[in-house]
Amino acid sequence: MSSTGRGLFGGLFDRGAAGTGDAAWLQAMLDTEAALARAVERAGLAPSGAGAAVTEAARAGAFDPDELGRQAVAAGNPVPALVRALTEAVPGPAAVAVHQGATSQDIIDTAAVLMARRALEGVGADLAAAADAAAGLAAAHQDTIMIGRTLLQQAVPVTFGLVAAGWMSAIDEAADGLNRVRGQRLAVQLGGAAGTLAPLGDQAPAVRVLLAEELGLACPVLPWHTDRLRVTELAAALAGACGVLGKMARDVTLLAQSEVAEVREGTPGAGASSAMPHKRNPVAAVVILGCTKQAPGLLATLAGAAEQEHQRAAGAWHAEWQPLASLLRLTGSAAAWAAELLAGLEVDAGRMRANLDAAGGLPLAESVVAVLAPGLGRLAAHDLVADASGVATRTGRSLGEVLSSPDLAARVEAAGVTSEQIGAALDPAAHLGSAAVFTRHALAAHRGRGTMAP
């Protein structure tokens, strides 16, 4: 997407379709007011045509967010100023339908829910695209052998297909979490001053149901002014998605290091350094991390704000607005970057194999122990291979060379093991465990979601 009009950092941290700026907030509040006007008209509490009149006036372009912001200081939020301006914009008797029975929190909470729903639609599309791209990598590289790394050290062989399948599966699960929140936990807010909706009389329950229908949102059992579980569930799902995307991006930065060079980002022209012409930086991965590393702090703020007093909070509710909008925006940006990164990721299978071979067979030490154990016993086999591995590390020879040296060859032969068996034990392709099966199962699960993966 274009970053035009988004400021200096908008192209980086506001890349996705999750609009959460002033215009999005304002239109969501106006949409809530318009839907409430239609609901009270349907309940017989406003004249015929009032809902349509308010809806016609409720266009964000007709209002000045800067002026509303200036007036917000008097009430602690922008809703009173917006209600005044909207009422003045609605002709004649229809104005009675504006904000009827509601309080400021009803409008802002429902607007936040509407904004979240709209943002999650864009986030979901980008997550699906990212997962599809990861699925393409997994399918193409089911047999591409590379070294697995644990605690940042070489461990045992894996396949890049399994690595990409791990990214794919995690992204799919993160999308599922967001879809659950979007489908089940986004609810209308309408409770009036203290959750009783007294101004609407015996029509209050009906108006709540009608408002939910107008907006296509769930109607909760009770107003949730100081029950912020819905907000924290949304925030947790967003932070979880950020965690998944950040893990993938961190893997890419590590695999793209000059000394590793097993993957590179494929976006043409991207990655230039201002000082070092030779560099090709993993820009997308870096910006994803720039987005996702902000998520834990935002989640903590929203979780901390969930403790709210009595029927209406003193400050904790206000503390939610910007962190929630930022978390939606940053998750959307990270998802959009991830879709681009994974779609263009270049994989160097030759370099992966070279890095594995450079370890001189040490990552296969465990399989050599398994071959020697029947003849020597498990502990003796382990000690033999540990000694051989130490020699290989100190001398720069391969594990196979050390095991075939005069010092150790006799011990290997005493175990009844041939050099051919040692060679087979040191073949990475023969020791990938269930990597291929796991990758196929993950791809099948992904395809079952109805995505476009191969």
Dist CA 370 CA 336 (whole Å): 46
Set 84, 250, 312, 397: catalytic member:
312
Dist CA 32 CA 304 (whole Å): 27
Query: Is the distance from CB of 181 to CB of 237 less than 8 angstroms?
Result: yes
Dist CA 182 CA 160 (whole Å): 33
Query: Is the distance from CB of 242 to CB of 336 less than 8 angstroms?
Result: no
Q: Who contacts 205 (Cβ-Cβ below 8 Å, separation ≥6)? A: none
DSSP one-letter code for 362: G
Query: Is the distance from CB of 86 to CB of 94 less than 8 angstroms?
Result: no
Query: Is the distance from CB of 264 to CB of 346 less than 8 angstroms?
Result: yes
Set 48, 273, 419, 434: catalytic member:
273
Reply yes or no on whether 182 is catalytic: no
Give backbone dihedrals phi and psi of 148, rounded to 5 degrees, phi first. Answer: -85, 150
- Sign of the Cα pseudo-torsion (146, 152, 153, 156, in order): negative
Reply yes or no on whether 15 is catalytic: no
User: Helix and strand tally (H, E) in the chain?
Assistant: 19, 4
Dist CA 260 CA 65 (whole Å): 50
Query: Is the distance from CB of 129 to CB of 168 less than 8 angstroms?
Result: no
Catalytic residues: 273, 312
